[in-house]
Structure 1
Amino acid sequence: MVTLSDVAKQANVSKMTVSRVINHPEQVTPELRDLVEAAMAALNYHPNVAAKALANNRTNVIKVVILEDIDTTEPYYMSLIFGIAKGLDKRGYALQLVTDRHRMNGGNRADGFIVTGERASDIPLLEMLNEPFVIFGENRYGFDFVDSDNKAGTTLATEYALAKNYQSIVFLGIDVKESFEYSREAGYINTLQQHQKIPQIHRLSNHSRVSQAFICDRWEKFAPDTCFICASDRLALGVERGIIQKGGRIPEDFGVIGFDGVFLDQVANPQLTTVKQPVEQLGELLARMLLQKLAQSGAQQGEVLVTPELIKRGSTRE
């Protein structure tokens, strides 16, 4: 049977260091933590997490709460939840998924919450939570959060559209009054203003059928040499369909750029140029932030923004 001493010998550190990595990972450097975890993996050593949780009056359960309609985001959440699960599993924590807002504080106990899809109307609900929580997504309420850098993402997209010589650049946003949407619009607006171009913003519900109808109904208003920058791949997918339905050519006359980069960008035809969010990585970062918050007795963690990547495909000019 592998012991703590065996792990310490394998990693060439003291037993105290191994114990700290297991019980108080926030007290050691990331490099040292990686070294000990590699030794544990090599020896197939698994700490008794149940005994540890009992001793610390913990459940080793984290509730992941989804407060929005996943019908418009389902591929996205599969990657996010997988990332969260990976991050929690590294520390011996289990994930419990909650989709009913009325059950957030009910049922089985949990050590903390990861909350996503919240809107302004949900703030009183969050403030009633009894345990520490972190948010997935920018917010203006002072809650700890992890998100993509939404402003940087649409800045990348707008600069790329300009570089490809599209003369008219239109932004299709999501009709929600939330921080992530404002940031995506800001990246587009600021970039166009720097090039002395006038922004054109339209806000739609996040459904491809809505954006397809929007294009078809206003087709005469959009001249060739237009690029549509969309706040989601779902909107971009509908834009593509609308352009094709009206006989437009993509990418020669019309360009389309999405935002998300999870599944829909690849099934679109042509495949979407998109601002790809590292969703699985964001999930792991959420887990890490919450567990650090628990280790620090609920101390404020601030914000983590991760720069997304522009993936260039067939819906824009080469």
Structure 2
Amino acid sequence: MVTLSDVAKEANVSKMTVSRAINHPEQVTPELLELVEKAMDKLHYRPNSAARALVNNRTNVVKFITLEDIDTTEPYYMNLLFGVARGLTKEQYALQLVTDIGDIGKSGDDGYIITGARQADYDLFDAFDKPFILYGENRHGYDYVDTDNSLGEKIATKYALERGYEHVVFIGLDVKEPFEYSRENGYLSTMQQAQMPTQIYRAANHSHQSKKVVLDNWEKFPQNTCFVCGSDRLAVGIIWALLEKQVKIPEEYGVIGFDGVFLDQVSNPKITTIKQPTFEMGEILAQMLLQKIKLSGAPQGEVLLEPKLVVRDTTK
């Protein structure tokens, strides 16, 4: 079995230096850290996670906290959770799922990944005494990971125009949150650049709500309209409305969703959508939080990942 002494000998440093590089990497130079890591990799040395946690006064537990309705986001969060779990497993960390923010601090943990935060929640975060990373854009200076929401809707709107739709309508989420503002901005900026008139409607993230918006305003949507949506769930409701009106999809009306997790594939017809890299975002959330824990809470900044257009049956 490879020991700490073997690593020290391979790296030509002391055992104390190796220990410091493993348990307190912020206390050694990048060059020295790289030297120790190369020696560990060469010898296939893996530090004992329990011993590391004891040395650093840590639990090796991270809590994943969701502050929104799981019923409307379950498929989406499943992918995100798998990504987080994979990122934590690489560093031998365990994951706990929390749906009640009041449970924070009731048992040992080293930090938090927080999803579904809304404006009313931010005052709570300042009271946290442990590192945390938010999933989702914010304007409060907290570290976060998210999709580039503005870019996603720019891609969707541009594609709708390129496919020859004469009218492009945005159906967004009825929430006053940064991610929604970014999505609307992506639509607006693209339409303005194309010198096209804009139409924006908002609905709660439920299919029956977006269906109602379309049916209630049907006379405002002539043929050759494409609906660019703030979520796949909203897109499903719009498809229901179009089917009820017995119009042709995608020849007469198009629909583009946003998320690319499950609903876009089970819908009939299947939805052209902006696919978020949820698994990758989960891994990055875990990596950023673990780095923040190692660096005693030092800020990690923001990461925006590029979404991709997936073309299916609801556009020309």
**TM-score, normalised relative to structure 2:** 0.91
Partner residue of 1:249?
248
Residue 69 (1) aligns with residue 86 (2):
no
**1:251-270 CA deviation, whole Å, 9 max, x = no partner?**
10111000000111101111
SS in structure 2 at match of 1:270: coil
Where in structure 2 are the equivalents of 1:105-144 lying within 5 Å?
A: 105=105, 107-144=106-143
CA distance in 2, matches of 1:313, 1:216: 24
Where in structure 2 are the equivalents of 1:175-190 lying within 5 Å?
A: 175-190=174-189
Q: 1:215 to 1:174 in 2, by over 3 A?
A: same
- Percent of residue pairs bearing the same amino acid type: 56
Partner residue of 1:169?
168
Residue 283 of structure 2 aligns with an amino acid whose one-letter code is E
1:299 positional shift: 1.1
Partner residue of 1:284?
283
Where in structure 2 are the equivalents of 1:1-318 lying within 5 Å?
A: 1-4=1-4, 22-24=22-24, 28=30, 43=44, 46-105=46-105, 107-317=106-316
CA distance in 2, matches of 1:216, 1:34: 61
* Number of equivalenced pairs: 311
CA distance in 2, matches of 1:309, 1:35: 36
SS in structure 2 at match of 1:238: helix
Contact conserved, 1:4 with 1:15, CA < 8 A, in 2? no
CA distance in 2, matches of 1:98, 1:241: 34
Following superposition, which runs of at least 4 residues in structure 1 exceed 3 angstroms of deviation?
A: 2-9, 12-40
Residue 80 of structure 1 aligns with an amino acid whose one-letter code is L
Contact conserved, 2:7 with 2:36, CA < 8 A, in 1? no
CA distance in 2, matches of 1:212, 1:36: 60
Q: 1:31 to 1:168 in 2, by over 3 A?
A: farther
Q: 1:133 to 1:245 in 2, by over 3 A?
A: same
Contact conserved, 1:276 with 1:308, CA < 8 A, in 2? yes
Contact conserved, 2:11 with 2:36, CA < 8 A, in 1? no
SS in structure 2 at match of 1:227: strand
1:139 positional shift: 0.2
Contact conserved, 2:139 with 2:178, CA < 8 A, in 1? yes
Residue 65 of structure 1 aligns with an amino acid whose one-letter code is I
Residue 79 of structure 1 aligns with an amino acid whose one-letter code is N
Contact conserved, 2:173 with 2:205, CA < 8 A, in 1? yes
Residue 301 of structure 1 aligns with an amino acid whose one-letter code is Q
**1:173-211 CA deviation, whole Å, 9 max, x = no partner?**
001000000000000000000011121000100001111
CA distance in 2, matches of 1:315, 1:37: 52
**TM-score, normalised relative to structure 1:** 0.90
Structure 2 regions of 5+ residues with no counterpart? none
Contact conserved, 2:257 with 2:264, CA < 8 A, in 1? yes
1:22 positional shift: 4.3
Residue 271 of structure 1 aligns with an amino acid whose one-letter code is K
Residue 286 of structure 1 aligns with an amino acid whose one-letter code is L
CA distance in 2, matches of 1:8, 1:246: 73
1:37 positional shift: 7.7
Residue 144 of structure 1 aligns with an amino acid whose one-letter code is D
**1:103-162 CA deviation, whole Å, 9 max, x = no partner?**
123x21211111110101101111111111110000011100010100000000000001
Contact conserved, 1:5 with 1:15, CA < 8 A, in 2? no
SS in structure 2 at match of 1:129: coil
Contact conserved, 1:228 with 1:255, CA < 8 A, in 2? yes
CA distance in 1, matches of 2:46, 2:37: 15
